[in-house]
Chain A
Amino acid sequence: MTAVSPALRILPEILLTLTGVLVMVTEPLLSAKTSRKPLGIFALLGTLAAIAASAWQLHLPAGTAFFNTIQTDAFSVFFHLLIGGILLVTLLVSLNYFEGHSTYVGEFYALLLFSAVGMMLMTSAIELLMVFLGLEISSISTYILAGYRKRSAVSAEASIKYFLLGSFATAFFLYGVALCFGATGSTNIHSIATGVASGSSPLLLALALGMMLIGLGFKVSAAPFHVWTPDVYEGAPAPVVGFMSTAPKAAAFAVLLRITYTGFGTMSHIWIPLLWIMAVASMTIGNLGALTQRNVKRMLAYSSIAHAGYLLVAFTAFSADGLAAACFYTAAYAAMNVGAFAIISYLSGYDERRVHLQDYAGLAKRHPLASAAMAIFLLSLIGIPFTAGFFGKFYVFTTAMHSGLWILVTIGLLNSGLAAFYYLRFLSQLYMQPYDAAQDISEAPAQPAFVLGIAILVAAVLVLGIIPNRVLRLAQAGAATYFPCSGTNAAEVHTQPNLLR
């Protein structure tokens, strides 16, 4: 078997970068008056190609490239497809968002593409420095995207806050990488795993792990590193929030999985309690914070903190199923959250006309289809059966229960019961309040691209909820790259070296 060309292992990233660069180069050549839609469509095509390339990678034998910095396997492909999908839908729903408001929208598409490139790199990197590179590429693009409503003060504020606090957190991650190198002499995850298993300098490694968890905890907005989330989500343009509340999180979770499960698998006695506490804190703070929120975007921001908590529950299970559950939940969460923000972006438009819950009163009458889609996303966020959200939670909690974490499961279930309250309030606003015609805001009719994007998301939510088995198997295939002996409990496999010591 001949070796696979290294370039093929980062084919999706190459395609996206090329598309982004072309968009960037073309942008200044167009006159200010020209619509940027063709650029958006070009970006869409590039994304489609990248998704196809990712899917094709499934047929490659799993392996590494570029001096053991990149590894493509079922796991990385799963996240590539997920990030590519999020990018695709985000492009579709934001194709008309800036129409008539902002020039140089080409940059917007390019930044989205670059940001996705960074995230994809993160998911296939097995070298911490490469992870860091990906993290920076994606973060810097997202900082700019958060402030893309250029004339809006809140948007600029969101951008600055995100940037300053984000840099602060990234520094922690980088410091963690440095400590890791100090302890094991390597920044490759597999070498680190060997170093960790050998048991030398445990304290240094523990601190390194802690530092990296802080940095990643910020990216996934897990408590206690969540404080930035509501402000940034409130200020950033709604389609961007949909993107940045899902894709970077997916990437950060993938890295977290690689670091904890592979790199520090034998130090699970340290990160399991830590993630346990972070999961409880995120779920509780997120849901309680959302409970009395009146601003829709802030409410969903707190809700995303809570969902990060549910995801951490899956991590804490530390088993092949836990890993698959985490992957599945990331996908489910992405579908429903991107959807919710897409509908908000459509209903409130570029200048955010509908900010508070009461602005959505009775909209089901005025916008029956958009409201129906929103209802499906909200029901999924609550976790009603036959939607992605239900099955995702069911899977996460089942695996956690399997690992004996019944206290965590109990807390999680109580939390998801509590969460119904605020999602339901939104739903009731849409469906069970009279429509105030005096507040009529004339929206531009939904464009075909937007409708297509929403249709994809609704279909994803329903498919993941009704016939989840296909995606489930892909997630399990991804998990199997970590736990080759599928079915056995991971903890048993990994504690083996400990016993020998």
Chain B
Amino acid sequence: MTTNMHLWLLPLLPLAGFLWNGTLGRRLPKTLVTSVALLFSGAAFAQVLWIAAQFRSLALPHVESFATPWIAIHGFQVDFSFLLDPLTLIMLLVVTGVGFLIHLYSVGYMAHEEGYWRFFAYLNLFLFFMLTLVLAENFLLLFVGWEGVGLASYLLIGFYYNKDSAADAGKKAFIVNRIGDFGFLLAIFLLVAHFGTLSFTSIFGAIAAHPAMQGGVLTTIALLLVLGATGKSAQIPLYIWLPDAMEGPTPVSALIHAATMVTAGIYMVARTHVLFDRSPLALGVVAIIGAATAIFAATIGIVQTDIKRVLAYSTVSQLGYMFLACGVAAYSSAIFHLVTHAFFKALLFLAAGSVIHALGGEQDLRAMGGLRKKIPVTFWTMTAAVFAICGFFPFAGFFSKDAILFAVFNASVLHSLYLGKLLWGIGLVTAGLTSFYMFRLWYLTFFGSARYNEEHAEHGGHGVHESSWTMLLPLIVLGVLSLVGGWMGWPEALGGHDSFAHFLDPVFGASAAAAPVVMSSASAGMERMLAGLSMLIALLGWLLADILYHRNPKLPERMAQKCSALHALLLHKYWIDELYGAIIVRPLLAISRVVLWRGVDAGIVDGSGVALASGASGFSSIVRRMQSGNIRSYAGWLAMGAALVLIFVFYLAHCI
């Protein structure tokens, strides 16, 4: 007898909020819109807490089905069922918890925006799909949520519809993700063809029952899933949409493009780890993509001047860490970093939003400075986040990042321990870079001379000001979490219990042994040493930022001039966007024009409406038109197609 957790209700709560605000919100007063949005997202969080409270008494994995079958096709069926296990629970807590905080924050942040109701409707829609994604018990439902969050993200990125760049960024995010979805869908079709089911439990059970099943089709499926994950989680080669996605409102960047949606790819890899455990190749690819993305994005982040873009590249880089962890089968470390990252990166964005809000919309780091005293709460909470992301003890990032680096240090990637060490080295350097660009941002925003235009910030007549309590409360909560959030994963080497990893043991426990990554003998002493080393590197990054952006503010400019080629390379993000434009987008458009070549697609004769204003001249005009060659050329094409078909048929009938 299993307890009923009413999981069906969980996604429906935000959906109700969406339907209410989406249909009626336009005519309702702001307070009502706000309270509905907060009520439903809060209720979802409350239900998750209720589930968490009863979690220990559940038999795992806990599956609840609502429509069996949802879809029945000869040979296989898909049920509408939700799955609850430790991994799901952690994701649920992050999604609804951080989601609720950001809803709260948005009340203040979006207060002056036109289309207030629309914003909250979309935000609730996002929660609906994200919860579906996390709760899904099969690949199809996972994909439903996956596409849905992409849709919500598209709508929210393009929220400021008066800006062309916003609409373009929304489209770009959607299109780039379609490439990833292509891989995901192909993987789903392969799974159907090979396992005859899409249910996680059945597929993983089938794989577990065949210990000899290794590589081959599993590798293909895993690699296709990786393609999907690189789209949603903004990894090489599909990361290009995320920095542009910063066109959306800042709370959206915090919730969707930092804390939750972009981690869906990591969640998916972790959820389907059984497939990856059987394919060293796929794991190796994940690890290499992760490490490469981590350092690549970090280098770009160094020179960006838009505060949100720096954070965006930082997100790409941190997601790279999580990918790297997945690639060495350290799934629990990946999820751990996902959680702590959700805390401190959401906080960074929200704090950045508070800064932007205070300055009346200014996003350029060069036009900030000296804000420490003006907005103290924002300053102190952001400081906590900066220390957390840089990995200073005892902030949250320290524990999760070191768990990853330690796992990579001991792992063999693609059967090579040296490659593992190399990736670890990359991770370490990235940690230094991270620390450098984060402290650069910190100094440029809060220290030095005030470079902003006081009059520009003068909105509402009170100059640069601290935000309202609905905005500060989430900052404070997340600030505290950025400090203590990592303690749940205090490693045993440092005298803790590593309870986070143990909590996830039912999900990943078996894979630690089965995974094809040989753990070389790891000692507690080694772990302590590595942790110390990465702290040292982070300190180095801080020191460098301190020298360049605090003590000698003129120095960076001179350095940029000296190595202008390198600076330009980083500033233009390695010209990747331009490269993609030249090798993919432009050829496609060119081919499209060939298809529409006038010989084939002659179109309707131009200016026809004028010539035919009166009905009397109608017939003659039609005859004239017929002689224009249109119809004859069309008939010619038809005849040619027919000839081709007949020749082809003739050939087939004769030769086969």
Contacts and interface: CB of A to CB of B under 8 A. Distances in A.
B171 A157 contact: no
Interface string A159-177: 0110011001100100000
Interface string B174-193: 11001101100110011011
Contacts of A413: 182, 185-186
Nearest to A410: B186
Contacts of B637: 224, 227
A385 B174 CA distance: 14
A358 interface: no
Contacts of A291: 588-589, 592
A360 to B, nearest CB: 13
B601 interface: yes
Contacts of B75: 321, 402, 487
A269 B656 contact: yes
A125 to B, nearest CB: 23
Interface string B605-634: 100110110010010011001100011001
Contacts of B178: 417-418, 420
A425 B67 CA distance: 35
Interface in A191-233: 202-203, 205-207, 209-211, 213-214, 217-218, 223-225, 227-228, 230-231
A293 B596 contact: yes
A327 interface: no
Interface string A480-493: 00000011000000
A289 B595 contact: yes
Nearest to A417: B178
A385 B147 contact: yes
Interface stretch (B160-168, B260-268, B379-387, B561-569): B160-168
Given A153-B609, A154-B604, A413-B186, A472 B642 contact: no
Interface stretch (A2-10, A27-35, A64-72, A393-401): A393-401
B182 A417 contact: yes
B646 interface: yes
B189 A433 contact: no
A164 B625 CA distance: 13
Interface in B126-175: 140, 143-144, 147-148, 151, 154-155, 158, 161-162, 166-167, 170-171, 174-175
Interface residues of B, number: 78
A152 interface: yes
B608 A154 contact: yes
Contact of B596 (A152, A270, A289, A428): A289
A53 B26 CA distance: 44
Contacts of A153: 608-609, 611-612, 618, 621-622
A230 B625 CA distance: 16
B192 A401 contact: yes
A161 B69 CA distance: 48
A424 B171 contact: yes
A54 to B, nearest CB: 24
A87 interface: no
Given A224-B644, A292-B593, A157 B608 contact: yes
A188 B241 CA distance: 57
B649 A270 contact: yes
Given A292-B589, A417-B178, A432-B167, A165 B631 contact: yes
Given A234-B604, A274-B648, A288 B592 contact: yes
Interface in B571-596: 588-589, 591-593, 595-596
Given A206-B650, A417-B182, A486-B74, A274 B645 contact: yes
B646 to A, nearest CB: 5
A469 interface: yes
Given A320-B74, A424-B175, A434-B161, A214 B635 contact: no
B611 to A, nearest CB: 7
B167 A433 contact: yes
Contacts of B615: 150-151
B652 interface: yes
Interface string B462-486: 0000000000000000000000000
Nearest to B161: A432
Interface string A419-449: 0110011001001111000000000000000
A259 B640 CA distance: 23
A366 to B, nearest CB: 13
Nearest to A393: B185
B72 interface: yes
B53 interface: no
A406 B147 CA distance: 22
B189 A409 contact: yes
B603 A230 contact: yes
A420 B176 CA distance: 10
A115 interface: no
A453 interface: no
Contacts of A172: 642
Given A225-B641, A472-B71, A211 B646 contact: yes
B600 interface: yes
A89 interface: no
A203 B653 contact: yes
Nearest to A319: B74
Given A154-B609, A431-B155, A214 B641 contact: yes
Contact of B151 (A165, A379, A473): A379
A62 B31 CA distance: 61
Contacts of B638: 165, 168-169, 218, 224-225, 227
Contacts of B602: 231
B510 interface: no
A376 B167 CA distance: 19
Contacts of B70: 467, 469
Interface in A445-490: 467-469, 472-473, 476, 486-487
Given A203-B650, A468-B71, A156 B592 contact: no
A469 B72 contact: yes
Interface in B4-22: none
A397 B143 contact: no
B56 interface: no
Given A172-B642, A401-B192, A417-B181, A472 B72 contact: yes
A42 interface: no
Nearest to A301: B601
A156 B144 contact: no
Nearest to A364: B161
A230 B611 contact: no
A413 B625 CA distance: 39
Contacts of A273: 648, 652
Nearest to A147: B622
A55 to B, nearest CB: 22
Closest 9 CB pairs between A and B?
A: A224-B641, A153-B612, A206-B653, A210-B649, A385-B144, A432-B167, A291-B592, A417-B178, A401-B189
13 contacts: A153-B608, A153-B611, A168-B638, A210-B645, A210-B646, A227-B601, A227-B638, A397-B189, A401-B192, A401-B193, A420-B174, A469-B69, A472-B73
